[in-house]
Structure 1
Amino acid sequence: MVAPRKAALAEESAEVEVLFANMEKLKGLTKRIQGSLNRLETSGKNVQDAIGPIYGNTQKLQTTNSNIDRIIEAIDRIREPLDQRNREERIIRAGPRKVPLQDYMASLDRTTQALADLRRSNLRSNQQAVAELSTLLKTGTKQLEEIFREILQEDARTVEPLHYITKQLPFPTLAEDRLSRLRLISAHVSASFAQMSQTDVRETPTERIYAEIRGDYLTKSLSNLAAASVTTARKTTADAIYRQGTNAIGTYAQGIEGIYLAEYDNLCPIFSREEWAKVYPSTCQSSLNEFTKTLRELNTHIQKNLMTDCFLGYEIIEIVSTLSIRLETKTGELKRPIADSLKPIRETCKASLPKLLEDTRSRVQTLIALPMDGGPVSLTNDTMTKLQTMTGYLSPLSSIMTSLGDGGWSTSSASTSSTSIPTIKSFDVGADGRQLFAHYASDMLETLLSNLEIKSRTLLKGRGLQGVFLSNNVAIVDRMIRSSELQALLGSYAPKLELWRKKATATYLEPWREPSAYLLDVQYTNRSGRPHSGGATTTDSAQIVKGLSSKDKDAIKEKLKNFNTSFEELLSRHKSYKLEREVRSQLARDVQNVIEPLYGRFWDRYHEIDKGKGKYIKYDKSQLASTLAGLG
């Protein structure tokens, strides 16, 4: 047992010795490794000290290279516009006549874009390029403008509007291919111009060129109609009342409407919708100025001949107002300038209404003589002719009278402003318009008849002659009302006219009271022989005459003599009067109604006073009736 244990211990002891020996070797190895690390560290420091400057220089070189690359890129960017300018300059300098239009405008588009990019970059170094590109773009745009002008001038030959109006043909417009080219050019010029101007401009070059060329075309085409409107206003007879439609203003307005609408159809495809409201009025402005000038000349003519040619003013108001409304409806433009051109004539026409009344009054008052046969004065016919003529202008008169106010025409202060633009409603001749005219016409007739009555009392001797004169003038008024549109308009005046007729008749009948008075006698109702009331009675003339005293018989004979003298004198006067047809028959009936019943009764009672000798009784009842009937 002891021997094996010793053997095991000896073995373990040997292993320990081996481990100690290995540990000693490891320590030595560790020392050698530490020495190597120390040497390596020293060598690394030496290497770092040697390589450090080289690495720093390498980084600086890389930064420098990067900066150089960036500088080269910047130089390329700076040179790019110059290179592009050179490329586009060759095309633009060649001009749109040598380069296809599409290519030319594409070059302009690229130039416009390049210029916009340069301006956005805001580099000081690009300022020269900006200036050069701007000059190049301006040159190209100018050349396009010239092409735009040439295309427009190809179709700028004036036309004769009367040809299209009389044949009811549409006014000519630009061809579709030209509209397409003009639209393309206008769009490019507007874009280039906006880039060059850098400000908010009111008018582009193409807008200005279009307005200039087409405006001149409109003005020259309408010039003949403008001249005709002035020429046809000239009077051949000083006192002749203007007849509706004889002035060329209606044709002028038709020409304006037709050619303006055609021009609107031209410009709409060329310009954008935002530009229409600028280009259209600008294009029409020159011809509108000529139209305004023409209206001023016509207004001067109307003012010089106001009493006869105010009707031309009414016609112009209606025609021109309708024109402005129609153009505004179809284009949305021109209503204001056309309405403004009408203002002077509207003012003149407003003044004409009170002046027509005053003229009627003045012409009666300045009469130094009236017809001695009781005939009517020409003034009555003239006045009625004017009122009849007015019925053809109820639309403009309605507007004018509305602005004056009901009855405002009777005072000189009735001149309210008419600067407002007429509307369709103001030209609607409804109940109000007709009523206003009826009031005005009534005032005119009252002015005429009342002044004629006053004048007749001054210049005519005898109530009978005065009554005939007034009756004749009333008859003409009534006749001319019934034979025209006035009948439908002056229904409210009929009662007043009937009063004038009755007044004239009563005035005429005043002298007939004298013979009528001779046919009146006194009857005593308390004496025998009194006729019974009620049923028919038979008058016994012989019995009545027999019952008269000598004094009564002499009185009856004197009455008969006086009656015959007065009656025959009035008959003679009546036959000397100049009576209108209806007045003659009317007055004859009135006289017959007054004289015949009285004479018949008187004759029944006293015809036996001269025993049929005819010394006192010159007319029997049938003879008197026949004589009175002959008055008609």
Structure 2
Amino acid sequence: MDDETAEIELLQQNLNKTRQISKRMTSILDSFETRVAKLEKSILPLYTASQILNRRRSNIDKTLEKIDDVATREEDLSAEESLILRGPQAGQLHLYKEAVERLNANIAFKAGESAEIAKIADLVETGAKRLVQLYTKIVAEGSSGPTPTSDRINTSLLSLPSTFPPTLLPTLTPIVKFLRGMPIPATHPSHPAAQGIARTLMDAQRGFADMRGNWSVKCLDAQGKRLVVRAGTSDVDPLQTGREFGEWLEVILATADEEYKLLQSLAPLPPSSSAISSSYALFLSPILRLFNSVLSSLVALMKKNLQRYSFLALSAYEALLSQQGQFELVLSFTTDMGAGGSFSSSKGAGGGAMVGDKTGHDILKEGLTTLRSLCLRSFPEFLADIKLAALPTAVGKGGANVNADVSTKVLDFTVETVKYISKIPEVEGAVSAALLALGDGNWKMEFE
């Protein structure tokens, strides 16, 4: 028992010591908490002030970053502006194209910054204009120079007088490809520069058509004038002149067809655009004017002396008739085609190309009609000449022909008749077409 009592007393003593220690610890902790509370009260204003400073520092850093970004963009924009205003340089077209592409990309990422977007859009439009100036310069270079001097008409497509120089195509083709990718309302309706760029490209395309049309006329004009001069020369067979007219017309149509393909490949606007047909009409108008002028000059000669130029009328009519289909095909390129391939113009084929108040279709139709009427006139007039030549020139007593030739030589009108008949097979197409157009039984000439 004594041992147990001693242990209990020892435990009691230890418990009391533990309690004393706990009280001391509690007192210390209370004192520490009080000090911490005081410290917190003293630190809190400093902490609050430091937070404000931190926020201010963050705002300052962000502002500086923004300023640096704006300054960098302004430097970049100034560099791009300098490059754009200088225009594309020889051998550095790719750098210019890249600059325009970067400006276009900036517009896409600057939504909401209207002032900056407007400035960039102006630069993009200026870049398009500078590229168009280079495009026009190259086209003008390919549409100038000395005209062909050969008297011989060559209908080979490889030797057409107005062919665009192939040496310029490697330079021009990349420009055309890039211009066709420029923003226009049809492809980029929301682009701020689309309208201005579309007008610039349309003007360039019309300029292309105008230059090519005038150059083609310049190359074809000498041959056309030569035809008229040769037709009025007494030692040139009118039948041969008519054939040369057909060869010249073939060159015109081949040139027109080749230039249509060239317009499709080199026009700055997409080839599917309806602007192609209107531009081609602009190209074709001076050529139609030249054709109409030469044909009118030849017709005037025929009307002046149809007896001499009857075979010119027949061979020219046959030539125009044989190429009527190709002529109408060329004219159809000037008319927009709607769905299903139908013409959208009420004027019909060739309604787009005008010479004065006449369409190309009118010129073709009038040319065929005029030549056919001259051909039809030539037949009865020739028969009348034969009849007149066979009549006695003077009558004596008893009705005798005092001037009658009683020799056995062949009379002049007989020789002319044989020549006339021998030439008819060479223009058989024109003769049959003219008589078929007149109709059976409508052309009769009887000898009394």
Classify the TM-score, shorter chain. 0.5 to 0.7
Report the AA paired with residue 227 of structure 1. K
Return the alpha-carbon distance in structure 2 between the equivalents of residues 283 and 80 of structure 1: 48
Return the alpha-carbon distance in structure 2 between the equivalents of residues 401 and 57 of structure 1: 112
Q: 2:219 aligns with which of 218, 221, 237?
A: 221
Alignment of 1:409-488 (within 5 A): 409=438, 440=440, 444=443, 447-449=444-446, 452=447, 456=448
Q: Compute the displacement of 1:217 (Å).
A: 2.4
Report the AA paired with residue 181 of structure 1. T
Partner of 2:357 in structure 1? none
**Alpha-carbon deviations, 1:408-430, whole Å to 9, x = none?**
x35xxxxxxxxxxxxxxxxxxxx
Partner of 2:252 in structure 1? 256
**Alpha-carbon deviations, 1:519-551, whole Å to 9, x = none?**
xxxxxxxxxxxxxxxxxxxxxxxxxxxxxxxxx
Return the alpha-carbon distance in structure 2 between the equivalents of residues 62 and 323 of structure 1: 88
Return the alpha-carbon distance in structure 2 between the equivalents of residues 257 and 249 of structure 1: 12
Return the alpha-carbon distance in structure 1 between the equivalents of residues 254 and 330 of structure 2: 11
Partner of 2:367 in structure 1? 345
TM-score, L = length of structure 1: 0.48
Return the alpha-carbon distance in structure 1 between the equivalents of residues 221 and 29 of structure 2: 115
The alignment status of 1:45 with 2:42, answered yes or no, reads: no
Distance change >3 Å, CA 222–CA 147, structure 1 → 2: closer
Alignment of 1:228-627 (within 5 A): 228-233=226-231, 243-247=238-242, 248-257=244-253, 259=255, 274-275=270-271, 282-299=282-299, 312=312, 315-320=315-320, 322-323=322-323, 325=325, 336=350, 341-348=363-370, 392-395=426-429, 409=438, 440=440, 444=443, 447-449=444-446, 452=447, 456=448
Partner of 2:116 in structure 1? 126
Q: Compute the displacement of 1:160 (Å).
A: 2.7
Return the alpha-carbon distance in structure 2 between the equivalents of residues 330 and 354 of structure 1: 28
Q: 1:117 aligns with which of 84, 101, 105?
A: 105
Q: Compute the displacement of 1:236 (Å).
A: 7.0
Q: Compute the displacement of 1:126 (Å).
A: 1.5
Q: Compute the displacement of 1:270 (Å).
A: 5.1
Return the alpha-carbon distance in structure 2 between the equivalents of residues 324 and 11 of structure 1: 144
The alignment status of 1:144 with 2:138, answered yes or no, reads: no
Return the alpha-carbon distance in structure 2 between the equivalents of residues 273 and 132 of structure 1: 20
* Unpaired segments ≥5 residues, structure 2: 185-190, 335-348, 354-359, 393-398, 405-411
Q: Compute the displacement of 1:290 (Å).
A: 1.4
Q: 1 or 2 for the larger relative contact order (CA 8 Å, sep ≥6)?
A: 2
Give the secondary structure class of the aligned counterpart of 1:244. Answer: helix
Q: 2:149 aligns with which of 160, 164, 176?
A: 160
| Contact persistence 2:213–2:284 (CA under 8 A) | yes
| Contact persistence 1:225–1:252 (CA under 8 A) | yes
Return the alpha-carbon distance in structure 2 between the equivalents of residues 398 and 65 of structure 1: 100
Q: Compute the displacement of 1:389 (Å).
A: 6.3
**Alpha-carbon deviations, 1:263-306, whole Å to 9, x = none?**
67877775589549567665454233311333344456667777
| Contact persistence 1:307–1:352 (CA under 8 A) | no
Distance change >3 Å, CA 356–CA 316, structure 1 → 2: closer
Return the alpha-carbon distance in structure 1 between the equivalents of residues 375 and 327 of structure 2: 29
| Contact persistence 2:313–2:371 (CA under 8 A) | yes
Partner of 1:627 in structure 2? none
**Alpha-carbon deviations, 1:392-419, whole Å to 9, x = none?**
44545666777x5xxxx35xxxxxxxxx
Q: Compute the displacement of 1:133 (Å).
A: 3.1
Task: Give the CA RMSD over aligned residues.
Answer: 5.3
Report the AA paired with residue 252 of structure 2. I
Give the secondary structure class of the aligned counterpart of 2:239. Answer: coil
**Alpha-carbon deviations, 1:198-234, whole Å to 9, x = none?**
1244845654454344433221121122223444555
Identity %: 20
| Contact persistence 2:241–2:312 (CA under 8 A) | no
Report the AA paired with residue 218 of structure 1. S
Give the secondary structure class of the aligned counterpart of 1:224. Answer: helix
Distance change >3 Å, CA 72–CA 92, structure 1 → 2: same
Return the alpha-carbon distance in structure 2 between the equivalents of residues 383 and 323 of structure 1: 30
Partner of 1:106 in structure 2? 94
Distance change >3 Å, CA 27–CA 59, structure 1 → 2: same
Report the AA paired with residue 256 of structure 1. I
Give the secondary structure class of the aligned counterpart of 2:240. Answer: coil
Return the alpha-carbon distance in structure 1 between the equivalents of residues 314 and 58 of structure 2: 88
Partner of 2:356 in structure 1? none
Q: Compute the displacement of 1:262 (Å).
A: 6.8
Report the AA paired with residue 244 of structure 1. L
Return the alpha-carbon distance in structure 2 between the equivalents of residues 77 and 161 of structure 1: 66
Partner of 2:408 in structure 1? none
Distance change >3 Å, CA 187–CA 13, structure 1 → 2: same
| Contact persistence 1:95–1:140 (CA under 8 A) | yes
| Contact persistence 1:211–1:283 (CA under 8 A) | yes
Return the alpha-carbon distance in structure 2 between the equivalents of residues 314 and 346 of structure 1: 11
Report the AA paired with residue 241 of structure 2. T
Return the alpha-carbon distance in structure 2 between the equivalents of residues 197 and 320 of structure 1: 48
Return the alpha-carbon distance in structure 2 between the equivalents of residues 264 and 448 of structure 1: 48
Q: Compute the displacement of 1:117 (Å).
A: 3.4
Return the alpha-carbon distance in structure 2 between the equivalents of residues 321 and 69 of structure 1: 84
Partner of 2:194 in structure 1? 198
Return the alpha-carbon distance in structure 1 between the equivalents of residues 97 and 57 of structure 2: 38
Return the alpha-carbon distance in structure 2 between the equivalents of residues 139 and 201 of structure 1: 10
| Contact persistence 1:222–1:256 (CA under 8 A) | yes
| Contact persistence 2:201–2:269 (CA under 8 A) | no
Q: Compute the displacement of 1:116 (Å).
A: 1.6
Report the AA paired with residue 148 of structure 2. V
Report the AA paired with residue 226 of structure 1. G
Distance change >3 Å, CA 312–CA 214, structure 1 → 2: same
Q: Compute the displacement of 1:313 (Å).
A: 5.1
Partner of 1:182 in structure 2? 172
Return the alpha-carbon distance in structure 1 between the equivalents of residues 131 and 34 of structure 2: 79
Q: Compute the displacement of 1:344 (Å).
A: 0.6
| Contact persistence 1:302–1:309 (CA under 8 A) | yes
